[in-house]
């Protein structure tokens, strides 16, 4: 179908392409703002966990290093 003739029925109204694109952008905008807090919280939790793992690995590495030095190797 020719794009200029393509229509979308939304809420019982027929819309042309320009109006349809605007409606899509508004819908995406609504969805993205609603999920931003969730994504931010997940990202913060991931970063915190990653840093804790790095800290743990660093501590374990130092512990093994000191044990090796104590053995005289």
Task: Give the angle subtended at the CA of 60 by the CAs of 58 and 46, to the nearest 5°.
Answer: 55
Find where tokens 């819309």 sit: 15
Tell me what pLDDT residue 31 has: 63
* pLDDT at 55 (0 to 100): 98
Following DSSP, what letter does each residue of the chain receive, concatenated? Answer: --GGG--EEETTEEE-HHHHHHHHHHHHHHHHHHHHHHHHHHHHHHHHHHHHHHHHHHHHHHHHHHHHHHHT-
pLDDT band at 61 (very low <50, low <70, confident <90, very high): very high
Convert the pLDDT of each residue in 2-60 to its tens digit.
Answer: 444 444 444 555 557 887 788 877 777 766 566 788 999 999 999 999 999 999 999 99
Distance, in Å, from the CA atom of 16 to the CA atom of 59, rounded to the nearest integer, reads 62
The total number of structural domains in the chain stands at 1
Q: What is the extent of the structural domain holding 49?
A: 3-71
């Amino acid at each position: 179908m020719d794009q200029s003739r393509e229509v979308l029925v939304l809420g019982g109204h027929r819309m042309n392409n320009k109006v349809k694109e605007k409606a899509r952008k508004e819908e995406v905008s609504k969805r993205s703002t609603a999920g931003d807090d969730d994504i931010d919280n997940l990202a913060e939790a991931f970063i915190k966990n990653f840093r804790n793992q790095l800290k743990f690995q660093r501590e374990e590495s130092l512990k093994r290093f000191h044990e090796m030095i104590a053995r005289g190797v």
